[in-house]
Chains A and B, each alone.
Chain A
Amino acid sequence: MEKNTPLTEALFYILLSVRKPNHGYGIIQEVEKLTEGRVTLGPGTLYGAIQTMTAKGWIRIYSAETDSRKKKEYIITDLGRAVFAEEIKRLAELLYNGQLMWGPKAVEPGEPGGKSQEQS
């Protein structure tokens, strides 16, 4: 496989959002929800990403219904899943090695670098 990683944040979250059939608006909303509003996708950014990933064969149009008035839906392909898995492997390595910063023990919630779950 050609070198596709690291994925941009936009590509990463779009791939994640089309693990089941999803349309443009649905992708934007899901990404916003997953990142608590940190990542918002503009229509231009999303359109470009969908065109690129369709051309690369990472996603395809999901055409269970042929009603043209319905919003077009997209779904991830096997190739897309492979690229995504590759990226997760890379990210896991980063996260694992990143923990060296705080010594050999694993990062616990609430520590720097870990996601804080505590209430203040």
Chain B
Amino acid sequence: MTKFHLYVDKDKETAFLNEMSQKGYALTGFCAGFYHFDSCRPGEYVYQIDITEGMFRVSHDYREFMRDMDVEIVCLWGPWVILRKKAGEGAFELYTDVESNIEHYARIKRMLKAVAVLEIICLFMEIYGAIRGVPIGWAFVFILGAVLVAILKELMRVNGILTELKGRIGSDRQEIQSGRTGRISGYLGVGLFLNGVVLMIPEISADGQAAFWIGFLKGFLQVMAVLFMVAGCVFTWWRRG
């Protein structure tokens, strides 16, 4: 049986895989949102999802270690590793203390940040294309925008988890030292400034090439302004939260 799902939230994905296992469907493969299940005894396997430094590969050490632990590597996708263990062989939870959970979620956060930056770059390229009149350009802009919002939402969730975990062992001192608390992000200021610049560009009646370039410049600045303002609001909110 194959099911299609898009998860940004790794914890929800884990819950989904374990729910399927409870129903008698064991994941055996994953590719780009398609989950392939074979039948198993209900609850036969417990699934866990890990993140590693590599892409589509794990170190020999990791492979050997998990084998020694009777943990099976089901599949690799990007930086993600889907693991499972027979439920009868005892509890299976990858990270069992606060410190290693912090490391785990910090790794997820770094990965999400890198993806968010790539998304923003792609989004700009698509916006440029759409303004130049590439067919279905705006559709791509919309899709990329939606993905970006999903990633930013997940980043906020992971950030919340990290703050909570660090609070538990009292290691949130670093953030106070570097003055990260309770300030308004500089991005917000940049966004508002750009927005002001756009408003100050006078309406010029021109035709042909000139009109296109003025329109392009205005559109580009407006998009930048909106992105900076959104980023500013998000970062400000993080610092307060």
Q: Which residues of A contact B (CB under 8 A)?
A: 8-10, 23-25, 40-45, 47-51, 71-72
Contacts and interface: CB of A to CB of B under 8 A. Distances in A.
B109 interface: no
Given A47-B62, A48-B100, A49-B100, A71 B68 contact: yes
Contacts of A8: 97, 99
Given A41-B97, A42-B94, 19 more contacts: A10-B99, A24-B65, A25-B69, A42-B95, A42-B96, A43-B66, A43-B69, A43-B71, A43-B94, A44-B48, A44-B100, A45-B95, A45-B100, A47-B62, A47-B65, A47-B66, A48-B100, A71-B68, A72-B64
Interface of B: 48, 50, 61-62, 64-66, 68-69, 71, 91-97, 99-100, 103-104
B104 A44 contact: yes
B198 to A, nearest CB: 48
B14 to A, nearest CB: 12
A72 B60 CA distance: 12
The A contact surface, by secondary structure, is: helix
Contacts, number: 52
Given A8-B99, A10-B100, A24-B69, A45 B64 contact: no
Contacts of A45: 94-97, 100
Contacts of A48: 100, 103
10 contacts: A10-B99, A25-B68, A42-B96, A43-B94, A44-B94, A44-B104, A49-B100, A50-B65, A71-B68, A72-B64
A86 B62 CA distance: 30
Contacts of A49: 100
Contacts of A25: 68-69
Nearest to A47: B65
A29 B104 CA distance: 23
A43 B65 contact: yes
Contacts of B97: 8-10, 41, 45
Nearest to A41: B96
Given A25-B68, A72-B65, A44 B99 contact: no
A72 B64 CA distance: 8
B68 A44 contact: no
A50 B61 CA distance: 11
A49 B71 CA distance: 18
A24 B94 CA distance: 14
Contacts of A72: 64-65, 68
Contact of A40 (B64, B96, B103): B96
